[in-house]
Structure 1
Amino acid sequence: MADTTQYTEDNIRSLDWKEHIRMRPGMYIGKLGDGSSADDGIYILLKEVLDNSIDEYVMGGGKTIEISVQGEKVIVRDYGRGIPLGKVVDVVSKMNTGGKYDTRAFKKSVGLNGVGTKAVNALSNYFRVESTRDGKSKSAEFERGELTNEEELDETSRRRGTKITFIPDDTIFKHYKFRNEYIEKMLRNYVYLNPGLTIVFNGEKYYSENGLKDLLQDNTNVDDILYPIIHLKGEDIEVAITHSKTQYSEEYHSFVNGQNTTQGGTHLAAFREAVVKTVRDFYGKNYDASDVRKSIISAISIKVMEPVFESQTKTKLGSTDMGGNLPTVRTFINDFVGTHLDNFLHKNPETAEKLQRKILQAERERKELSGIRKLAKERAKKASLHNKKLRDCRVHLGDMKKDRRLDTTLFITEGDSASGSITKSRDVNTQAVFSLRGKPLNSYGMSKKIVYENEEFNLLQAALNIEESLEDLRYNNIVIATDADVDGMHIRLLLITFFLQFFPELIKEGHLYILQTPLFRVRNKKETIYCYSETERREAVEKLKGKPEITRFKGLGEISPDEFQHFIGDDIRLEPVMLDKAMSIEKLLEFYMGKNTPDRQEFIINNLKVELDVIEEKA
């Protein structure tokens, strides 16, 4: 038997920079994904390139950034200072190389680790960098991080700046597709944080004059806003605050040095605390913190010297101080909000009165709910000891040290057969299953009371851990997995109604999805192809030639656990549930779930799509 304890020089393997990135992409860009989620790797690649162009703008170079995404190819062009020509290759292919290490050049930038564009380069089939400055130009081309071509021009009439072109590597990002909605949201955030900057995306201009005030205005329907947005700006800090008339939950947009910290961190905790303290001091009443913050819609952006984030993708701030000789993040935010929000409320008594009425209303509702909530918590505690609805996973979104936490998924399924198939074929580390018994209750028009009184909703809320706020959400992806028949569609609608009514920020933050399952299986003795549409079925029949066997799946329960592995593994297809900001949530729910039958009938008739696949099959 071989000696397995031998440990020699041969066991030590030194990876070069690109091998390391390609072998462990999750360390650099979070999860891979196919583009159906806003935090999928292909958007992080775009963001890493964009961050450099934004930093150029912040440092006073170039007021316009042009972006083109056509199919798989991405082009980002800025009009900043341009990369020093002698360093063009090094900056995109040598670790620990870049201007961000010289804090004089980039005081409060986002891309502080000098890894960004190197990761993009290593994870792209094709990568090209071109820099123009002082009337000269230099370009370099790479394939998966390997330099393939270098070119230098002594004289050029091109405007100064940097142009990056890349195509993500399809062996790493499988079946990927860029979704414009996610890119647009990212770009809007960039312009809100950089008033005066123009970003042109596929010919459309994005620009903001009023920063975070515009962010709240553009993301919230005007009918939902309780009082005019409070907009406060200072050195290295900007906040915008209002409350919603209809929404139960708290909603925060938080940023550090232009980076959207979707998981908050020390600055968001300090902001939530500062709002409560200032409001209590202003009214001279010791209001409950949850009553002050209930229905708040707000945004905070701060700039910190050399921030420390809790992950490579920079979604949670870990720094406790502002850098240099400045105070702690907590003191800085408390002092700013304490002074400026207090001043605003003194100068705007009408807003102060509306805010106080909202707090008192929240207090009444909380007291009415307290008895029910207590009972529900006791019930949930008993149920969680033998909760037959939830088959949990090992890793959760809050586990900061786990590199797969962004893959954490909760499948909400109907019926025992579908739940059984998913449970048997899931990844027990990151995939959990919540089983529904029949159709959930239609929660349209009901108060929060129903979430506690209805056992199924209460257990779902407990499984997600979102009663207090989204901060403790246990799964990054909440996936509704129902049959694609009439009953399955109805269950989807009832679940979406529940989330819209009580937890709309789950949808706004891009956590809710519909699982796409195949309609057909086409196979011969050598190959099996799963098809998600009539077009895919036709293509599969053509590809396999002869007379392949075609199976039509009528429901999830028909799909065996062995087959299910293909649909919820690396090749999972998810359809994100997105909100149209032009319509208020109240009106949206009223239209689909209310009693306006003639309007809805007309809508259905006008949008009816007749499926002819059964007729085609018979023909």
Structure 2
Amino acid sequence: MEQDSLITLIVSDLSVPALTLSKVKCWDVHYCTLFLQSLFENKAVEKTKKNPDRLSVERIYQKKTQLEHILLRPDTYIGSVEPVTQQMWVFDEDVGMTCRDVTFVPGLYKIFDEILVNAADNKQRDKTMSCIKVNIDPENNTISVWNNGKGIPVVEHKVEKVYVPALIFGQLLTSSNYDDDQKKVTGGRNGYGAKLCNIFSNKFTVETACKQSKKTFRQTWYDNMGRAGESKIKPFDGDEFTCITFQPDLTKFKMQTLDKDTIAIMTRRAYDIAGSTKGVRVFLNGKRLPVTSFRSYVDLYLKDKVDELGTPLTVVHETVNDRWEVCITMSEKGFQQVSFVNSIATTKGGRHTDYVADQVTAKLIEVVKKKNKAGVVVKPFQIKNHIWLFVNCLIENPTFDSQTKENMTLQQKSFGSTCPLSDKFIKQATSCGIVESIMNWVKFKAQTQLNKKCSAVKHTKIKGVPKLDDANDAGGKNSSGCTLILTEGDSAKTLAVSGLGVVGRDRYGVFPLRGKMLNVREASHKQIMDNAEINNIIKILGLQYKKNYSDPDSLKSLRYGKLMIMTDQDQDGSHIKGLLINFIHHNWPSLLRHNFLEEFITPIIKATNKKQELPFYSIPEFTEWKDKQPNIKCWKIKYYKGLGTSTSKEAKEYFSDMQRHRIPFKYAGPADDEAITLAFSKKKIEERKEWLTNFMVNRRQRREHNLPEVQYMYGSLTFELSTTWLKPGQRKVLFCCFKRNDKREVKVAQLAGSVAEMSAYHHGEVSLMMTIVGLAQNFVGSNNLNLLQPMGQFGTRLHGGKDSASPRYIFTMLSPLARLLFPPVDDNLLKYNYDDNQRVEPEWYIPIIPTVLVNGAEGIGTGWASRLPNFDVREIVNNLHRMLNGEEPLPMLPNYKGFRGTIDELMTNQYMNNGEVAILDSTTIEISELPVKTWTQSYKENVLEPMLNGTEKVPALITDYKEYHTDTTVRFVVKMTEERLREAEMAGLHKVFKLQQPLTCNSMVLFDHVGSLKKYETVQDVLKDFYELRMKYYVLRKDWLAGMLGAESAKLTNQARFILEKIQGTLVIENKPKKQLITMLTEMGYDSDPVKVSHLIPPLFLCCHHTIQTTFTQPLLYTSGPDYNYLLNMPMWYLTKEKKEELCKQRDAKVSLLCLRLRSRVEAKERENATMPAVKGKAVKSKGVKVKQETMPTPQGRRVIPRITSTMKADANRKAVVKKEGSKKGKKETGLAARLTKKTKAPSKDKGMDDITSIASHIHWRRNPKCFTHLIEPIK
């Protein structure tokens, strides 16, 4: 061990590079003694007598000079000196830059590049440099590089005693780049550079002119820098320059001449310098290169390059700053990069390209995720594979992984500059073809996965499909004659199975659907792959993705030759049919051309009279028949809402007459393809709006065609009327509550059952329960006026109402305000729907104020989206009073009951919704209000928690927070460092803590009272539309009330006359048949019951004006004959004198009330109430429980005023402009917008309307309607 240690120590001290400890250990002691002795005595070790063939130590271990070592081991310094063949970019006169196989010697290429980069580096030292000249003479094996600008100082180095040019070009390890404290953006670094070119040249000449010393220097080295010629110094008075001329030693590179490939890559490097060195003209062999900028240099690579569609590639270019220039385009061959660091061609890239590529990839992946409906997981490297990146940069003191400088390794933090790509560049990058290329790849991958996982093959028996009743011949030789029946649910399957008893099971299979099918045209790849129902249908039919079934023989590969759709005859059933058609059309459009699809229709209504039975397959067909019947009452009408309504007997009747019920879908040409795409494609949104609007223009046309009625129904499910904010489910709840008129609270679950029964609700009761809960909620951000009372836990602002208790535990009842908003007298003016021969909720309610503005509206329908914020009910009432007085309504800001923040207007219909924050001390802030609809719990989890914990990239912003809020109030006390608080305050506390959210009124799309969609530009337009409609209904109400008074007066008059004539003996009714008695009363001029008739006959306004009500569909029960029961059923004691006189007094009172008292009393009361205070009223103190002080905002806190910056306003304006431009893409859209915003034409006034108007004007009813004013006091 001691011997080993001694030898190791000596060897390490002597720096013998070839010595290893393993070799030392194998020597014997005698030889080690001789070796050590020779080392100290410097004597040669002779061959031992025992082994005469062993070499001497001097032959084994040698010391070389630096120059000898470079020549002996050149690959360490300049790369391989052996010819290699690889793909490289070279310049071609015809096609520009082309990537092809090139055979070259990397070492020769490198020494040339060192000289070229030195010339380019001079541009960084002298900005006046403007020219580089490169000459390559293969015949004489001579290369020269000349540049103007600052020359090398022609002075003697005081330490080394040689001229500076001779020092830096003729002596190793000399450089001007050794001072790492000095930040340089040049290519040189290690002190080899041009010396390597000298060493591997037969002749190497340096010429330079120094303006400062006014001298020129010229010296030549020969024989691999082994012999230096005499330096020549001459006086000089001209422009500075430097010129390097050398003749490479081709024998070192195993070459005889400079071949074409070598010249080609040297030529490309000349083009590189022209493109990467700004402001420098480059000449090659006396000819100026046609490259004036980095952008024009990039074009050399893209000459004649096209994308998949044959379109020339689009280049996105940006000069980020004076050190970074970036170009990007699409790549079809994986990730490609062409980059330069300080004019060095980094052919393998490095951290500079990663830095830029990562920025682009991060932005592109966000865009791809939004567009990636296929659901394929796309990773950053897959995005990168579609990018072709060009980077030209200047980096301070760059480092490389080798002297060849192909890969830049410096950490990004040491670059000395940054490259923040602008939003404009990123936006252009998303539209230059890269995203499209990625999406095509995604679709290809998705389709491949679908083919692999979801496609099926033909089998006689299949397993693993629950609830399938397979046809016996399916998948066999008779499979083309088989039909698969897809039913809407299990009950419909039962009906189909009952029918199979007639047609048999050999050729018919049945499979039930679980509701509405997925819209595969817009579904993601993951959704389709994970959808068991779609996969089961494919498996049952034996379909294969991407297979073309145009050839009739290809249908033989399917397990079934027909697909029959069997759904309910309602709107949902029609939607399911459409989705199935869309499923086949999207994946296998050729199947539709073979009449592959069919439907099985069943009656929606049956009319029965004794043994006669008439089936009807559409509502219009039934309505037309019903209108022609003289006595519809003798018919029993049965509505078949679903297939489950039919009995097994009826199922057998259907299937026994298969030809009548089996309807094939016939393909009529490209128009059918366009129609299916129009209905289900997301790309056809504007066209779909146009299509639906055309139907809305004429509702009669929609009802005649039946199908458009479906689209109207889907819209009405989610859109509100311009008069109320009530959706169909909410109208049903309100109708039921009005009808029940409960005086005590009722469980929500029980009320939902009652609503379903009274209003013929055909969906699940769970959704009704949620509707009831929503109508009763009153926390901040929900309703400003809740129509139901919350008696229990109906949800709070902590979770946005999602924390409500189970419907079986909570109670509710009608709010006292509900009947003030919807007066009972207006119920007589509404048009009610009829469902299953049962009168249900009205088509719409007409409140006395527009509740759509009070409680806001939000919904998504077919083609449109609508969103309105809440407004202050007092401001709304005040504006209605202004309109009653002939003044214009004032603009209103959104307002939410209980909200303690502020809402500022950015521009028309654009608002900023601000929370509240205050500074308590230098390290503490207090958040006492959140923006509207920002719920307390989600704010804590999504904003404060990440700020507290931080991430790898973003440090923690706050140190702690405490919560003091309740179910109605918000209070977070947040701790942070003084420095962080100062920074946050400078940036804006509201912005940093996300306490500002935008509110918009740009999507005010509502149904008007005739059922057509209308787009409102301002809130005042909604108010005006409501005002006009409500005023018409006040006239209508007055007319109805006057009619009722007249009817009651007529009834009393007839009764008084009847009694008087009976007493006088002029009327004899005893011992006469009933029929004769009724005839006699009619002849004597007695009226049929006037009150009953007034309830049945619609008021004059309803009959004459279609803008309010199109038809009166309530059955007229009095058509069976006059009704005199009100006379004949009077008790005998009515003939007494007292009762006669009382009846006459009642008659006179009614007439007086009609003519005089009504007018005077109403006018007096309304004049008294006309002077309503504007908005503000005295607050009423409640007897609530005292709240603990810690839950309230700290009075000493310094409130931070929200900042409304010019950026916010500009952003709001930009969004408004984009939305406006989006709605004006073409003439069709412009016409659509015009129709949606067009005011409904006022009804024409006939003689009856003129009479009503004159009466209303006379009694001032229209000027001061009573029902506007009687709500004021409760609201105050």
2:452 and 2:187 map into 1 onto residues whose CA distance is 42
Match of residue 233, structure 1, among 319, 337, 360: 319
Match in the other structure for 1:70: 137
2:442 corresponds to 1:357: no
Match of residue 214, structure 1, among 292, 296, 318: 296
Q: Is the 8 A contact 1:132 1:159 kept in 2?
A: yes
Summarize deviations over 1:223-252 as a string: whole Å, max 9, x none. Answer: 4156531112223222100114xx342221
1:283-362 superposed matches below 5 A: 285=370, 287-323=378-414, 326=416, 332=418, 336-337=420-421, 340=422, 342-346=423-427, 348=428, 352=431, 354-362=433-441
1:93-112 superposed matches below 5 A: 93-102=170-179, 107-112=184-189
Q: Is the 8 A contact 2:183 2:396 kept in 1?
A: no
Q: 1:4 to 1:129 in 2, by over 3 A?
A: farther
Question: Equivalent residue of 2:71, what SS?
Answer: helix
Q: 1:26 to 1:59 in 2, by over 3 A?
A: same
Query: Per-residue deviation at 1:4?
Result: 6.1
1:83 and 1:288 map into 2 onto residues whose CA distance is 51
Q: Is the 8 A contact 2:338 2:347 kept in 1?
A: yes
Match in the other structure for 1:81: 150
Q: 1:207 to 1:371 in 2, by over 3 A?
A: same
Match in the other structure for 2:345: 260
By relative contact order (CA 8 Å, sep 6+), the higher-ranking structure is: 1
Whose Rg is larger? 2
1:25 and 1:356 map into 2 onto residues whose CA distance is 46
Match of residue 18, structure 1, among 58, 67, 71: 67
Question: Equivalent residue of 1:99, what SS?
Answer: coil
1:578-597 superposed matches below 5 A: none
1:299 and 1:253 map into 2 onto residues whose CA distance is 5
1:343 and 1:282 map into 2 onto residues whose CA distance is 14
2:268 corresponds to 1:185: yes
Match of residue 287, structure 2, among 204, 217, 242: 204
2:248 and 2:266 map into 1 onto residues whose CA distance is 15
Q: Is the 8 A contact 1:68 1:74 kept in 2?
A: yes
TM-score in terms of structure 2 length: 0.27
2:138 corresponds to 1:57: no
1:363 and 1:123 map into 2 onto residues whose CA distance is 52
1:34 and 1:291 map into 2 onto residues whose CA distance is 34
Q: Residue 58 of structure 1 aligns to which amino acid in structure 2?
A: Q
Q: 1:369 to 1:121 in 2, by over 3 A?
A: farther
Query: Per-residue deviation at 1:103?
Result: 6.3
Q: Residue 365 of structure 1 aligns to which amino acid in structure 2?
A: F
Match in the other structure for 1:487: none
- Corresponding pairs, count: 359
Q: 1:282 to 1:59 in 2, by over 3 A?
A: farther
Match in the other structure for 1:142: 221
Summarize deviations over 1:292-325 as a string: whole Å, max 9, x none. Answer: 334422212332211111111011112113537x
Q: Is the 8 A contact 2:136 2:144 kept in 1?
A: yes
Question: Equivalent residue of 1:76, what SS?
Answer: strand
Q: Is the 8 A contact 2:274 2:293 kept in 1?
A: no
Question: Equivalent residue of 2:268, what SS?
Answer: helix
Q: 1:366 to 1:221 in 2, by over 3 A?
A: farther
Question: Equivalent residue of 2:352, what SS?
Answer: helix
Query: Per-residue deviation at 1:70?
Result: 1.0
2:275 and 2:432 map into 1 onto residues whose CA distance is 29
Match of residue 335, structure 2, among 250, 275, 282: 250
Query: Per-residue deviation at 1:87?
Result: 0.8
Match of residue 276, structure 1, among 357, 361, 365: 361
RMSD of aligned Cα (Å) = 3.1
Q: Is the 8 A contact 2:185 2:396 kept in 1?
A: yes
Q: Is the 8 A contact 2:189 2:397 kept in 1?
A: yes
Question: Equivalent residue of 1:115, what SS?
Answer: coil
Q: Is the 8 A contact 1:57 1:80 kept in 2?
A: yes
Question: Equivalent residue of 1:33, what SS?
Answer: coil
Q: Residue 172 of structure 1 aligns to which amino acid in structure 2?
A: K
1:370 and 1:42 map into 2 onto residues whose CA distance is 50
Q: 1:160 to 1:307 in 2, by over 3 A?
A: same
Q: Is the 8 A contact 2:125 2:150 kept in 1?
A: no
2:252 and 2:335 map into 1 onto residues whose CA distance is 37
Match in the other structure for 1:126: 203
Query: Per-residue deviation at 1:190?
Result: 1.2
Q: 1:16 to 1:204 in 2, by over 3 A?
A: same
1:119 and 1:373 map into 2 onto residues whose CA distance is 58
Match in the other structure for 2:252: 172
Match of residue 169, structure 2, among 92, 98, 103: 92
1:39 and 1:304 map into 2 onto residues whose CA distance is 28
1:535-614 superposed matches below 5 A: none
Q: Residue 242 of structure 1 aligns to which amino acid in structure 2?
A: T
Question: Equivalent residue of 2:338, what SS?
Answer: strand
Task: Identify which range, 127-136 or 266-275, moves more after superposition.
Answer: 266-275
Task: Identify which range, 101-110 or 55-64, moves more after superposition.
Answer: 101-110
Q: Is the 8 A contact 1:31 1:40 kept in 2?
A: yes
Task: Identify which range, 35-44 or 170-179, moves more after superposition.
Answer: 35-44
Question: Equivalent residue of 1:318, what SS?
Answer: coil
Q: Residue 232 of structure 1 aligns to which amino acid in structure 2?
A: E
Q: 1:145 to 1:105 in 2, by over 3 A?
A: farther
Summarize deviations over 1:178-228 as a string: whole Å, max 9, x none. Answer: 4321112111111111132112111221253331x3233111234415653
Task: Identify which range, 281-290 or 235-244, moves more after superposition.
Answer: 281-290
1:372 and 1:304 map into 2 onto residues whose CA distance is 49
2:99 corresponds to 1:41: no
1:518-529 superposed matches below 5 A: none
Q: 1:151 to 1:233 in 2, by over 3 A?
A: same
2:231 and 2:132 map into 1 onto residues whose CA distance is 24
Summarize deviations over 1:574-601 as a string: whole Å, max 9, x none. Answer: xxxxxxxxxxxxxxxxxxxxxxxxxxxx
Q: 1:230 to 1:113 in 2, by over 3 A?
A: same
Q: Is the 8 A contact 1:304 1:322 kept in 2?
A: no
Query: Per-residue deviation at 1:369?
Result: 5.0
1:39 and 1:192 map into 2 onto residues whose CA distance is 24
Unpaired stretches in structure 1, ≥5 consecutive residues? 375-619
Query: Per-residue deviation at 1:119?
Result: 0.9
Unpaired stretches in structure 2, ≥5 consecutive residues? 1-26, 43-57, 85-101, 155-162, 371-376, 454-1276
Question: Equivalent residue of 1:232, what SS?
Answer: strand
1:124 and 1:92 map into 2 onto residues whose CA distance is 12
Query: Per-residue deviation at 1:370?
Result: 5.9
Question: Equivalent residue of 2:292, what SS?
Answer: coil
Q: Is the 8 A contact 1:129 1:141 kept in 2?
A: yes
